[in-house]
Chain A
Amino acid sequence: MADNKRPTPIPLATVGGFLGSGKTTLINHLLNQANGRRYVVFVNDFGAINIDLQLVETIEDDRISFSNGCVCCTLNDEFVGSVAEMSKRQDRPDAILIEASGVADPRALEASLSALEASNHVRLETALYIVDAGCFGQRDYAEVEMLIDHAATSDLVLLNKSDLVSEQALDGLLQEFSVAAPYAATLATVQSCVSPALLFGNSDRPTRPEAKAGPHRHPDYHHWHYSGRDPMTRDALVELTKILQQHFFRIKGIVQSAADPTIWLSLQVVGTRAVIGQLPQGFTGKDAVEIVGIGIGPKMRRVELDRSMAAFEETLKPTPALPAMFTGKT
């Protein structure tokens, strides 16, 4: 790669939700079962975090460091500065999670995040929102609306504590959220169990097998990889993206442009948000097309996907020129 000096931005996700919805559980999972990854979590206050004291290395006023390399920080005025600093370090974090629900000024946080993204320090991967499915039915009108408005502007919604409601009620909730938050992916969870792959995309770093995973823990995502030798036009990539969005929550890819082979396009998709960009001049990839997809749920609709892909590849083939005798209308 030509642009080796420029570090890849750190994947960042935000998590929101009412008190008791399961944000803390999610954070504890992440910190305690990092499996070799270094996570940094920003929270409003430490009070709610269940700290495994055996893991703690140092505690400062606004920062707890764990022996597994993870760090928990308070979300304060120094946030932008400390993220910028972390991203320059040798032992930079693999991913950052922000618990944003109690923030007094969400607009200020948004501005900070977009500043960090513009300066290439982080990449906003997922806005996650957790709903307590167990007590959704007891919420009053104002709470329901607030909750739904938040869910509708998120990328991924967890209907958490789904074991506390009947299957029928859960289906009803999934249906209700698919209408109210159509651009968010919705996932029923127990104990906020969601794979880091869904939150941050796949980190390049290999992970140890998740030894401590609990009994309910079958994988909640599936993986797909595609490579192709023929470059693609931007329009074709847009079409392909539309197909893949039917199957995957998260898609990443690099594609050589058919219009100008010196140009390489990048594809980033989270839910319904798709961004096609251009890699720095001078980049060359191994294959002309390299795409990975991460889908929600243990199984992929393989037959359907293969069929769509075959049809798509068909459209890429140049239409053979018709012999002259067939072109005139006689």
Chain B
Amino acid sequence: MSGTLFYGGTIVTQDPKYPAPEAVLISCGKIVAVGDLADIQPRADKATVQHDLAGQTLLPGFIDAHSHPIWAAKTRGAPVVDVRANIVPTYAALIGKIKRRVAVAAPGEHLLFFGLDAQLHPDMEAPTRAFLDELAPDHPLGIQTSNCHALFLNSAGFKACGIDETTPTPTGSIIERDENGVPTGKIAEAVTWTALESFYEAWGARRLAEEVEQQILAFVANGITTVTEHLYMPFYKASYMAALNQKLPLPRVACYQQATTPDMRVEKLTDADDRLWMAGVKIHADGSPFIGNIWLTEPYLSNEITLERMDLKPGHTGGPNYPQEYFERMVREYFSAGWQMTVHTQGDRTIDMVLDLIETLLEEMPRPDHRFRLEHCALMRRDQIRRAHALGVQCSFFINHITHWGAPIEDALFGPERAAHYMPAGSAVAEGMRISLHADTPMTDASALDLMQAAVTRRAADGRCLGEGERLDIETALKSVTIDAAYHIGMEDQLGSITPGKHADLVILGANPLETEGDRLGDIPISSTWLAGERVYGG
């Protein structure tokens, strides 16, 4: 098999052994040589394609450390109607959109709307089952919140999902009910995601396959060559195998299987070419700051958004998703089986609970390189960062919260002091951590450059900067979407830098991010993306 020789541009390897090489040779899906053009040119043969970078910048392909590709495929794209606030600005406009959709629905059609947002839809009221029945008496209808964690259903929707007054609420989930136990409209956490499956199933396999392909193309068009499936469910495997069999440019997928009980069988996925593998187990310790189910030491602010739109009580400090003992049993089970653990934690009290548990587990069964991951880490405190680092715990930050919800985080939810250290990526780096950044697609759109810009500027949509002291320099931000993200998924010896012997996953950018203004990183054009040595996007 022939290879490709890259030269004639800037090469940013992310490997200190190769600081500024002139050329890179790839062959058979691997990086073969990195160094001076004069040394490498002789190793190319007649079949080697000479790729002149023409002044552009070659980097290792980007790694999104926490994403949900199949879920994104299901959640996005027709027939799901996108009602996120950047498109449908108010709740009144959103209701108008629902009415127009219902008016053209085929008999029995499942209708789903994605993107209701208590923080960004200024006139939002929580839709009740009765209200949704008025809008759509005959069709199963659901409105999912933009943070993905909650769903509002009408009566036909509850029926389609098989949830009624006799359904027990699964541990770790929420089903709001009246005094007779009849669901009143809102459900949250894991039960949301199982309920939605009945919508996705009703739309058929073909629709799903099309949307999976769209998602794959969206990742590679953004230069992303490795993603994670951070809520893997066993039936996802068919979609991934189909994508590979069809030779779609599926980025490498590190899977973390979702656990909601202590007795789940973790699927053993491996692949000789490192395209799809089981990396560990994912558990939700708490929920979303935007619906109020995270566990805090200091309460939420009290104002119209928290009290009315989010329907919280004054002094609300939330709680964990699972009873503590149940949660610990789950973590213990999968940790002792040797899996890498990744735990969704947003509130600082949740993080206290998880760090306590990790400390206990490590005393009971010491494990030198466990890379226990905390996901998102919105309100992690400095003392917790220190403690986590000492325990060998890794932090992956959902930095796009700042760009997408920065203003309400400061003004409505947590106040300026906590906002200044919200998603404390800068503190984590200052304490010596190797961090990763993520977009949590489908919650926000996948783009490593946008993540870098968010971390470097911490600038919210309205222009304000949330916590100047937590900003990253561009070099660190770049590591957190390449080599350090590879470290978080345990693949730093195969991915994340331009090093001989590693997979030939590359991206060519129109400009060198290290020489770009922080607030323009997101505008750098992606010229082409290379996965396992093949060009999968661009020219």
B92 interface residue (CB < 8 Å to A):
yes
How many residues from B make CB contacts under 8 Å with A? 19
- Name B83's closest neighbour in chain A (CB-CB): A149
Segment 89-104 of B: residues with Cβ below 8 Å from A: 89-90, 92-93, 96-97, 100-101, 103-104
Q: Is the CB–CB distance between A115 and B93 below 8 Å?
A: no
B357 interface residue (CB < 8 Å to A):
no
Segment 160-181 of A: residues with Cβ below 8 Å from B: 176, 179-181
How many residues from A make CB contacts under 8 Å with B? 19
Q: Is the CB–CB distance between B520 and A115 below 8 Å?
A: yes
* A–B pairs, 30, beta carbons within 8 Å: A108-B525, A111-B523, A115-B520, A118-B519, A118-B520, A141-B100, A141-B101, A141-B103, A144-B100, A145-B81, A145-B97, A148-B97, A149-B88, A152-B89, A153-B86, A176-B96, A179-B90, A179-B92, A179-B93, A179-B96, A180-B93, A180-B96, A180-B97, A181-B89, A181-B93, A182-B89, A182-B90, A182-B92, A182-B93, A275-B463
B87 interface residue (CB < 8 Å to A):
yes
A residues bordering B, Cβ < 8 Å?
Answer: 108, 111, 114-115, 118, 141, 144-145, 148-149, 152-153, 176, 179-183, 275
Q: Is the CB–CB distance between A145 and B520 below 8 Å?
A: no
Which residues of the partner chain A approach B97 to less than 8 Å between Cβ atoms? 145, 148, 180
| Closest Cβ–Cβ distance, residue B86 to chain A (whole Å) | 7
Q: Which of B86, B89, B96, B101 has the most CB of A within 10 A?
A: B89
Which residues of the partner chain B approach A275 to less than 8 Å between Cβ atoms? 463
| Closest Cβ–Cβ distance, residue A134 to chain B (whole Å) | 20
Which residues of the partner chain B approach A108 to less than 8 Å between Cβ atoms? 525
Segment 506-529 of B: residues with Cβ below 8 Å from A: 519-520, 523, 525
Which residues of the partner chain A approach B88 to less than 8 Å between Cβ atoms? 149, 152
Total A-B residue pairs with C-beta atoms closer than 8 Å? Answer: 41
Which residues of the partner chain A approach B87 to less than 8 Å between Cβ atoms? 149, 152-153
| Closest Cβ–Cβ distance, residue A265 to chain B (whole Å) | 14
A115 to B525, CA, bound (A): 12
- Name A112's closest neighbour in chain B (CB-CB): B523
Which residues of the partner chain A approach B81 to less than 8 Å between Cβ atoms? 145
A183 to B86, CA, bound (A): 11
Which residues of the partner chain A approach B96 to less than 8 Å between Cβ atoms? 176, 179-180
Which residues of the partner chain B approach A153 to less than 8 Å between Cβ atoms? 86-87
Which residues of the partner chain A approach B86 to less than 8 Å between Cβ atoms? 153
A57 to B87, CA, bound (A): 43
Known: A145-B81, A145-B97. 11 other contacts (CB 8 A): A144-B100, A149-B87, A149-B88, A152-B93, A153-B87, A176-B96, A179-B96, A181-B93, A182-B89, A182-B90, A182-B92
A108 to B97, CA, bound (A): 28
Q: Is the CB–CB distance between A114 and B90 below 8 Å?
A: no
A152 to B101, CA, bound (A): 17
| Closest Cβ–Cβ distance, residue B399 to chain A (whole Å) | 20
Which residues of the partner chain B approach A152 to less than 8 Å between Cβ atoms? 87-89, 93
- Name B122's closest neighbour in chain A (CB-CB): A182
Q: Is the CB–CB distance between A183 and B92 below 8 Å?
A: no
A260 to B92, CA, bound (A): 42
**Cβ contacts B96-117/A at 8 Å (1 or 0 each):** 1100110110000000000000
Asked, given contacts A108-B525, A115-B520, whether A183 binds B89 with beta carbons under 8 Å apart, the answer is: yes
- Name A118's closest neighbour in chain B (CB-CB): B520
A275 to B88, CA, bound (A): 22
| Closest Cβ–Cβ distance, residue B56 to chain A (whole Å) | 15
Which residues of the partner chain A approach B90 to less than 8 Å between Cβ atoms? 179, 182
A136 to B101, CA, bound (A): 16
- Name A148's closest neighbour in chain B (CB-CB): B97
Segment 50-89 of B: residues with Cβ below 8 Å from A: 81, 86-89
Q: Is the CB–CB distance between B520 and A141 below 8 Å?
A: no
Which residues of the partner chain B approach A180 to less than 8 Å between Cβ atoms? 93, 96-97
| Closest Cβ–Cβ distance, residue B449 to chain A (whole Å) | 11
Which residues of the partner chain A approach B92 to less than 8 Å between Cβ atoms? 179, 182
A275 to B104, CA, bound (A): 40
A114 to B524, CA, bound (A): 12
| Closest Cβ–Cβ distance, residue A266 to chain B (whole Å) | 14
| Closest Cβ–Cβ distance, residue A85 to chain B (whole Å) | 20
- Name A150's closest neighbour in chain B (CB-CB): B87
A223 to B183, CA, bound (A): 55
Which residues of the partner chain B approach A149 to less than 8 Å between Cβ atoms? 87-88
| Closest Cβ–Cβ distance, residue B179 to chain A (whole Å) | 35
| Closest Cβ–Cβ distance, residue A179 to chain B (whole Å) | 5
Which residues of the partner chain A approach B520 to less than 8 Å between Cβ atoms? 115, 118
Which residues of the partner chain A approach B463 to less than 8 Å between Cβ atoms? 275
| Closest Cβ–Cβ distance, residue A273 to chain B (whole Å) | 10
A145 to B103, CA, bound (A): 13
| Closest Cβ–Cβ distance, residue A167 to chain B (whole Å) | 22
A195 to B519, CA, bound (A): 34
A108 to B523, CA, bound (A): 8
Q: Is the CB–CB distance between B523 and A114 below 8 Å?
A: yes
| Closest Cβ–Cβ distance, residue B89 to chain A (whole Å) | 5
Which residues of the partner chain B approach A141 to less than 8 Å between Cβ atoms? 100-101, 103-104
| Closest Cβ–Cβ distance, residue A182 to chain B (whole Å) | 5
- Name A105's closest neighbour in chain B (CB-CB): B525
| Closest Cβ–Cβ distance, residue B115 to chain A (whole Å) | 12
Q: Is the CB–CB distance between B100 and A145 below 8 Å?
A: yes
| Closest Cβ–Cβ distance, residue A322 to chain B (whole Å) | 32
A183 to B121, CA, bound (A): 12
Which residues of the partner chain A approach B519 to less than 8 Å between Cβ atoms? 118
Which residues of the partner chain B approach A182 to less than 8 Å between Cβ atoms? 89-90, 92-93
10 residue pairs, one from A and one from B, having the closest CB atoms: A111-B523, A141-B104, A180-B93, A182-B90, A149-B87, A179-B92, A179-B96, A180-B96, A183-B89, A152-B89
Q: Is the CB–CB distance between A115 and B89 below 8 Å?
A: no
A141 to B78, CA, bound (A): 13
A180 to B99, CA, bound (A): 12
A148 to B523, CA, bound (A): 27
Which residues of the partner chain A approach B104 to less than 8 Å between Cβ atoms? 141
Which residues of the partner chain B approach A145 to less than 8 Å between Cβ atoms? 81, 97, 100
A115 to B510, CA, bound (A): 14
- Name B523's closest neighbour in chain A (CB-CB): A111
A74 to B86, CA, bound (A): 30
A75 to B463, CA, bound (A): 29
A108 to B81, CA, bound (A): 25
Which residues of the partner chain A approach B523 to less than 8 Å between Cβ atoms? 111, 114-115
A144 to B97, CA, bound (A): 10
Which residues of the partner chain B approach A115 to less than 8 Å between Cβ atoms? 520, 523
A114 to B88, CA, bound (A): 23
| Closest Cβ–Cβ distance, residue A115 to chain B (whole Å) | 6
Which residues of the partner chain B approach A176 to less than 8 Å between Cβ atoms? 96
| Closest Cβ–Cβ distance, residue A198 to chain B (whole Å) | 21
A118 to B92, CA, bound (A): 34
Which residues of the partner chain A approach B101 to less than 8 Å between Cβ atoms? 141
- Name B93's closest neighbour in chain A (CB-CB): A180
| Closest Cβ–Cβ distance, residue B101 to chain A (whole Å) | 7
| Closest Cβ–Cβ distance, residue A43 to chain B (whole Å) | 23
A121 to B362, CA, bound (A): 59
| Closest Cβ–Cβ distance, residue B330 to chain A (whole Å) | 42
- Name A149's closest neighbour in chain B (CB-CB): B87
A208 to B103, CA, bound (A): 51
A181 to B87, CA, bound (A): 10
Q: Which of A114, A144, A180, A182 has the most CB of B within 10 A?
A: A180
| Closest Cβ–Cβ distance, residue A281 to chain B (whole Å) | 20
A111 to B523, CA, bound (A): 6
Which residues of the partner chain B approach A118 to less than 8 Å between Cβ atoms? 519-520
- Name A183's closest neighbour in chain B (CB-CB): B89
